[in-house]
Amino acid sequence: MNTNAARLCQSSELFPHFDGSLPVIVLDNPLSRTVVALQGAHVLSFTPAGGKDMLWQSPKAVMKKGQPIRAGIPLCLPWFGPHPDGHPLHGFARLLPWAVEDLQTLGDGATRLVLSLADSAATRAMWPHAFAFSLEIVVGKALTLTLSARNAGGGEARFEFAFHTYFNVGDVTKAAVTGLEGCTYEDREDKNARKRQDGPLGVAGTTTKLFFDTPAVQQIASPAGTYRIESDCRCRMVWNAGDNDRNVPDLGAGNHRGYLCVEPADATERAVAIAEGSSYTTTMTLSAVK
């Protein structure tokens, strides 16, 4: 690693209460502090200087090889949700170790980390394409993630993606999301009924709403902070487990109150088709609103 703003350690050093331990990179500069697990290119924590961690970690999170991590920003690709053939939920990329391609300090004091994942016989058995995935993480006053997926072989690829972001809201019943007003959404807690969002979105009980053709910017106001989300993804999934958290082992009863997922996504009927030899790229920027 060619910057003194980064160090490699085990997650158990930072999160001793988690079940297990995985290698993580700590990016610490005068602007912010970020923790990234190499498994899944998974941002676990982002804390702007002088502020609170914007991301939420389940107190029952599991940090074990090949198991999903319920914290921060899981990357869902190359599919979103369950797979018809029983392959891993939300894709295989979040379960595999990514490689460090680049690490540098930028002129404004921010830190840039690039992680990559390439296909293997195991991935081609689930998704029949040669590919190169990369995630650029730029850590400054804001956190900017840029995901690129290149289809290197196997014909045209149907591709789904989401930044499955868990925001630290303190009390989800007192949080509100703006920037989705007037959008159509699929309410998965009401037989996938199509509805229109009127006014700010609050959360009362189990919530699974997929919004289509959304504006680039949303904002979450919550007891833990106010956050700005900007992304060129065309959809937003808004999710909270509600009382169903008791049925999720790595979440646990009552822990749903601490988070709200607002997930930029290109998925379901907004999935993309990547021609062989072509790439898909998308970006998300998170920042705290003073």
pLDDT tens across 28-79, in order? 999 999 999 999 999 999 999 999 999 999 999 999 999 999 999 999 999 9
| Percentage with pLDDT > 70 across the chain | 99
Q: Which residue has the tokens 């709200």?
A: 260
Rg (CA), the chain: 18
127-139 tens-digit pLDDT: 999 999 999 999 9
Q: What pLDDT, on the 0 to 100 scale, is given for residue 189?
A: 97
Structure tokens at 9: 């350690």
Average pLDDT, whole number, for the chain?
A: 97
Q: What is the pLDDT of residues 9-33, one digit of tens each?
A: 999 999 999 999 999 999 999 999 9
DSSP-derived secondary structure letter, 14: H
Percent of the chain with pLDDT over 90: 98
Residues 141-168: what's their mean pLDDT? 98
Angstrom distances, CA of residue 130 to CA of 73, 146, 147: 25, 20, 17
Look at residue 5 in the predicted model and tell me its pLDDT: 84
Q: What is the DSSP letter of 265?
A: E
The C-alpha atoms of residue 167 and residue 173 are separated, in whole angstroms, by 13
In whole angstroms, give the CA distance from residue 153 to residue 108: 38
Does residue 88 surpass a pLDDT of 70? yes
pLDDT-derived band at 3, boundaries 50, 70, 90: low
CA distance 261 to 222: 13
Asked if 160 and 92 count as a contact pair (C-beta separation under 8 A), the reply is: no
> Pick from 172, 163, 185: which is nearest to 241 by CA?
172
Which pLDDT score, from 0 to 100, does residue 220 have?
Answer: 98
Tally the residues of the chain: 290
Residue type, 137: I
Q: Which two tokens stand for residue 10?
A: 């085990």
What is the rounded average pLDDT of the residues 238-255? 97
Q: Is the pLDDT of residue 2 over 70?
A: no
Which run of H or of E encompasses 13? helix 11-14
DSSP 41: T
pLDDT tens digits along 208-227: 999 999 999 999 999 999 99
- Report yes or no on whether pTM surpasses 0.95: yes
pLDDT score at 282: 98
φ and ψ of 268, to 5 deg: 50, -120
CATH of segment(s) 6-288:
2.70.98.10
pLDDT tens sequence across 252-266: 999 999 999 999 999
pLDDT at position 290 over 80: no
pLDDT, greater one: 1 or 146: 146
pLDDT level of residue 162 (50, 70, 90 thresholds) = very high
Residue 152 banded pLDDT, cuts 50, 70, 90: very high
Domain parsing of the chain, residue ranges: 6-288
